[in-house]
């Protein structure tokens, strides 16, 4: 990271492939090394935001150099290809879509929540982005598509997370539930459950009612296991 970070302000046709590959490896390794089974010190919200920032770094490189990357050896990594492992499409995908749409509906009803309007708008956009990314995940049959969410949300959403704002924690819990249901990659093992539990720990007992579905996803999976 110490070698590639200074180059992020000077992405060129010559270095973009190397930077893109390096950023993907760093982000993937960070996810893999911080799974619940890894034995690392448990992560907190600050560390999660740092991991999300790494994902955003990869997206930033693509944004600056997409035309060059599309012409190079890394171009296949930009395409949504069919995954070898089939994504569950019936009950799970329908339930996730329904729950995300319901949450969006709740946030669009301004009388339902007491968040400040600016914060509510940021949270609402983040949930809409999550639904869009989820739908793309299903359409492309590519589990990795769901990992794009931290790169798509507004940077102000991460600021809300750092402040432990209730709405941002609710969105984080829903993202965790979607990861838990949809992603089976070995290097993401435990992340969905971890994010749901982390969000729940940061919310008071009353606010936890807003993440009943993510908590239920985790509990149901534990019972079936």
Higher per-residue confidence, 60 vs 132: 132
Query: Quick one: pLDDT at residue 222?
Result: 64
Query: Quick one: pLDDT at residue 132?
Result: 93
What's the whole-number mean pLDDT along residues 8-36?
82
pTM, to two decimals:
0.81
| pLDDT tens digit sequence for 157-206 | 999 999 999 999 999 999 999 999 887 777 778 889 999 999 999 999 88
**Residue 188, C-beta contacts closer than 8 angstroms, at least 6 positions apart:** 31, 32, 35, 147, 179
pLDDT band (50, 70, 90) for residue 145: confident
d(CA 76, CA 79): 5
Query: Quick one: pLDDT at residue 85?
Result: 45
d(CA 167, CA 182): 23
Is-contact 4 46, C-beta < 8 A?
A: no
DSSP state letter for 9: G
Cα distances (angstroms) measured from residue 65 to each of 58, 72, 150, 168: 11, 11, 19, 30
Q: What is the mean pLDDT of the chain?
A: 82
The answer, yes or no, to whether residue 9 has pLDDT greater than 70, is yes
183: enclosing H helix or E strand = none
Query: Quick one: pLDDT at residue 84?
Result: 41
Query: Quick one: pLDDT at residue 89?
Result: 45
| pLDDT tens digit sequence for 69-127 | 888 888 877 764 344 444 444 457 889 999 999 999 988 875 555 545 788 889 999 99
The answer, yes or no, to whether residue 1 has pLDDT greater than 80, is no
């Amino acid at each position: 990271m110490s070698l590639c970070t200074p180059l992020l302000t000077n992405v060129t046709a010559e270095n973009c492939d190397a930077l893109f590959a390096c950023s993907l490896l760093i982000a993937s390794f960070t996810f893999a090394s911080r799974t619940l089974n890894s034995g690392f010190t448990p992560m907190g919200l600050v560390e999660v935001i740092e991991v999300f920032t790494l994902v955003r770094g990869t997206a930033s490189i693509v944004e600056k150099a997409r035309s060059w990357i599309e012409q190079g050896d890394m171009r296949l990594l930009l395409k949504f290809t069919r995954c070898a492992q089939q994504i569950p499409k019936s009950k799970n995908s329908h339930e996730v879509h329904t729950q995300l749409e319901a949450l969006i509906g709740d946030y669009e009803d301004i009388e339902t929540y007491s968040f400040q309007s600016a914060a509510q708008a940021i949270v609402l956009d983040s949930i809409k982005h999550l639904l869009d990314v989820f739908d793309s995940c299903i359409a492309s049959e590519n589990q990795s598509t769901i990992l794009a969410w931290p790169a798509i949300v507004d940077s102000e959403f991460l600021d809300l997370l750092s402040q432990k704002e209730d709405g941002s924690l609710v969105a984080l819990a829903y993202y965790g539930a979607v990861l838990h249901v949809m992603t089976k990659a070995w290097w993401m093992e435990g992340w969905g459950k971890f994010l749901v539990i982390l969000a729940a720990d940061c919310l008071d007992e009353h606010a936890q009612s807003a993440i009943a579905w993510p908590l239920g996803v985790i509990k149901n999976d534990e019972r079936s296991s």
